[in-house]
Structure 1
Amino acid sequence: MVANSREAHAVQDITLSFESARIPPEDEALRGPVRRFLAEALRGMPPALRARSWMGFDADFSRALARQGWLGLTLPTRYGGAGRSAFARFVLSEELLAAGAPVSAHWIADRQTAPLILRYGSEAQRERFLPAIARGEMFFSIGMSEPDTGSDLAGVRTRALRSDTGWVLRGRKIWTTNAHRTPYMCALVRTSGTPQDRHKGLSQMLVDLSLPGITVRPLLDITGDRHFCEVLFDDVALPADALIGQEGSGWEQVTAELAFERSGPERLLSSMVLADTWLAHLRTLPAVDAATLATLGRLASRTAVLRAMSLGIAARLERGEQPVLAASFVKDLGTEFEQAVPLWVAQALDHSDGAAVPPALLQTLAYLTQIQPSFSLRGGTRQILRGIIARGLGLR
């Protein structure tokens, strides 16, 4: 079938978005110091705990990173950042996640809230929040999803109505990771119109979670952790400067923000501690069978391809572009890979020749087997992402 011109142009765009990119030497040089820091900071931490990585909340660890100058790497120096490139942050993120560092405290603020405020916030907001984020003193949660809308962000019902002093916030959010531990939330809300208006009338607010009228309910997940919360807003009075950017520009802003959330190494490295623990076990064996070798090859090849795609997006972010479509593609493929790794490892262990499996490996596998269904939910469900991809390719 011959594609129409719109489809052909879109396919060309998606191909070009995955350009070959190399990490500049000055940014690659960051890898050594980070590895040495992590070797000391994570000494003795069992793999089942390290496997939690960007769900592991440790404010002291985040502040230790900040003292090294490794938070706010891409922020301008005038706001307390290091003024480094997107490649520098890629190197840092890759090392943190591969090692299983507990990055959850600062992750959202550093990865997406800070770039959002830098781009769309007022100067007063930049001066107030960005240096605090870079020092590891200000952490954020995200208020996007809602109980009745899920990943359909255009259907947001939580409302912020104008008042004499600013805004009155009503509604609720869910999937708000660490809302019970963070002082602020960056929330997508409706400031005009109705959910039927879809993208129109949406805005973003910086919400102080200590304000009266806010209830945060941590929820227990299948692994026994409490990082996922429901947050209720009952006529919460927000100041006028809670608004980020222009009223009604929330859809444009949140779309740009999601490109940061969906494109990084965290979309392919969530199961890497398990892979490394399994490899360490295999090295103790006198030999491995052909099926295990095939699994190792599959793991290595897919990691290499996904990493190259993610690096290509880092290059586009460095140029100031908004690779929303490409980021959605990487997120979909990356989370599919992350979910597959525990299954591959379990199958390989099932077909082993009766060699004793270390308890640490089994514990790590058990945790990731339980939590891996969430990988394709966080940052947008697979169905939503594939709709975005199809629309971007002119297929719907």
Structure 2
Amino acid sequence: MIFDPTPLSADEEKLREEVRAFLADTLPDGFRPGLGLGGRHDPEFTRTLAKRGWVGMSIPTRYGGAGASTVRRFVVIEELLAAGAPIAAHWIAERQSAPAFLRFGTEEQREWFLPRIAAGECWFSLGMSEPDAGSDLASVRTAATRVDGGWRVTGTKVWTTNAHLNHFAAMLCRTTPQGEGDRHAGLSQLIVDLSDEDVHVSPIPLIDGEEHVNEVVLDGVFVPDERVLGEVGQGWAQVTAELAHERSGPDRYLSVLGLYRAFLDVHGRVPDDVRAAAIGRIGAQMWTIRQLSLAVARALDEGEAPAVEASLVKDIGTTFEQQVVETLRDAAGGEIDPGGPTMFDVLLAECVLNAPTWTLRGGTTEVLRGIAAKALTRGAR
């Protein structure tokens, strides 16, 4: 695995300052930042970003996008996440769905979906996880049966973020019954309209009372042939390629930046030795992980598919996030007041409840370390 050092150019730094100025003018005083992916689902904010060309940035101009590089998108996303901005409405659509349509979609699909994604008007969820399957996507049981003009889909997906609010979901389905051979064969991606009467969405309440993830029951929903994404039977290869975009971004280490900043506001002005050490260690680790993530973005711009490197960034990043929560909790004295009086107390309480999920989303730590270990083993032979 290779992570080439890559500084930002002067033009990329200028873009960063533009985004910071926009956020300073747009987010209200006293704004409570979201924790990375925990930003609110705010269609109006999404449309405002889209008008500036900051949604679906990597979509070519002929499809309504900015035609920007992966690194320029990285710069914008990093600032949005650092501010805890409400980006949930367009997040999946522009992070994964748009690149998937560009790489695997038909021209008809690109012409229909991509301009709507770039305008902030088309929102996506991902339908991968299933009950009792854990992180083993090869255990997918949602079945798509061939019928006249398309597919009839039956099954259940879980942990489907914002399916109650979004328009479509890219569902990983089994289009060929599983045999004794390759368990990853026979999987396909189908674009399901979440407003279809045969799609039933139910919230899964989380420990903090939030209801942004869902169970999605597909009760024989019809998906026409023109809504098959990529090739039938190639779903596993497509999902694996898409995960390089999901696993390596700044969302994998910035969930705790708001907490870190709030800690500095309360405890960082004149820190004692213990707190000073914690502040320095977290800052250095975060910067190092950022450099790894930025290197993957550069590799994507150069046409590479750094799936293994992305897996490593995700593993390191989300493990780091969990460690930060405990480090700052200990450095603050272990007291938590979930209702305040400071923003640090509020965010710390939220982090303590949500941090256990961070090493699960996008692939468990065990799965990602297995991917990295196999790559290192092959390289040593």
TM-score w.r.t. the length of structure 2 is 0.95
Aligned to 1:338: 321
Write the distance in 1 (CA, Å) between the matches of 2:39 and 2:202: 17
Alignment length (residue pairs): 374
Deviation by residue 1:94-122 (Cα, 9 ceiling, x = unmatched)? 10011110111100000011000011000
Q: Is the 8 A contact 1:52 1:102 kept in 2?
A: no
Partner SS, residue 358 of structure 2: helix
Is residue 2:155 matched to residue 1:171? yes
Write the distance in 2 (CA, Å) between the matches of 1:60 and 1:88: 23
Is residue 2:143 matched to residue 1:143? no
**Aligned Cα root-mean-square deviation (Å):** 1.7
- 1:44 offset after TM fit, Å? 2.1
Write the distance in 1 (CA, Å) between the matches of 2:138 and 2:8: 36
Q: Is the 8 A contact 1:142 1:176 kept in 2?
A: yes
Is residue 2:93 matched to residue 1:109? yes
Letter paired with 1:119: R
Aligned to 1:69: 53
Match of 1:296 among 279, 282, 286: 279
Aligned to 1:305: 288
Match of 1:255 among 240, 244, 254: 240
Write the distance in 2 (CA, Å) between the matches of 1:304 and 1:27: 17
Partner SS, residue 126 of structure 2: strand
Q: 1:245 to 1:53 in 2, by over 3 A?
A: closer
Partner SS, residue 105 of structure 1: coil
Is residue 2:205 matched to residue 1:220? yes
Write the distance in 2 (CA, Å) between the matches of 1:176 and 1:134: 22
- 1:21 offset after TM fit, Å? 1.0
Aligned to 2:76: 92
Partner SS, residue 82 of structure 1: coil
Match of 1:209 among 194, 208, 215: 194
Is residue 2:228 matched to residue 1:243? yes
Write the distance in 1 (CA, Å) between the matches of 2:171 and 2:134: 14
Higher alpha-carbon deviation: 221-230 or 35-44 = 35-44
Aligned to 2:62: 78
Deviation by residue 1:210-230 (Cα, 9 ceiling, x = unmatched)? 112111011111111111101
Q: Is the 8 A contact 1:155 1:195 kept in 2?
A: no
Write the distance in 2 (CA, Å) between the matches of 1:159 and 1:136: 31
**What percent of counterpart residues are identical?**
47
Write the distance in 2 (CA, Å) between the matches of 1:192 and 1:24: 48
Deviation by residue 1:341-382 (Cα, 9 ceiling, x = unmatched)? 111111111189xxxx94321111100111011101110111
Write the distance in 2 (CA, Å) between the matches of 1:329 and 1:111: 19
Unaligned stretches of 5+ residues in structure 2: none
Q: Is the 8 A contact 1:156 1:195 kept in 2?
A: no
Match of 2:356 among 362, 373, 379: 373
Write the distance in 1 (CA, Å) between the matches of 2:357 and 2:177: 32
Write the distance in 2 (CA, Å) between the matches of 1:315 and 1:89: 11
Letter paired with 2:240: T
Aligned to 1:279: 264
Is residue 2:18 matched to residue 1:33? yes
Letter paired with 1:194: Q
Aligned to 2:143: 159
Match of 1:119 among 97, 100, 103: 103
Aligned to 1:266: 251
Q: Is the 8 A contact 2:159 2:204 kept in 1?
A: no
Q: Is the 8 A contact 1:157 1:195 kept in 2?
A: no
Higher alpha-carbon deviation: 328-337 or 30-39 = 30-39
Deviation by residue 1:280-313 (Cα, 9 ceiling, x = unmatched)? 1235x5x321111110111011011101100110
Write the distance in 1 (CA, Å) between the matches of 2:149 and 2:287: 53
- 1:206 offset after TM fit, Å? 0.7
Q: Is the 8 A contact 1:55 1:227 kept in 2?
A: no
Q: 1:195 to 1:152 in 2, by over 3 A?
A: farther
Partner SS, residue 376 of structure 1: coil
Write the distance in 2 (CA, Å) between the matches of 1:195 and 1:387: 24
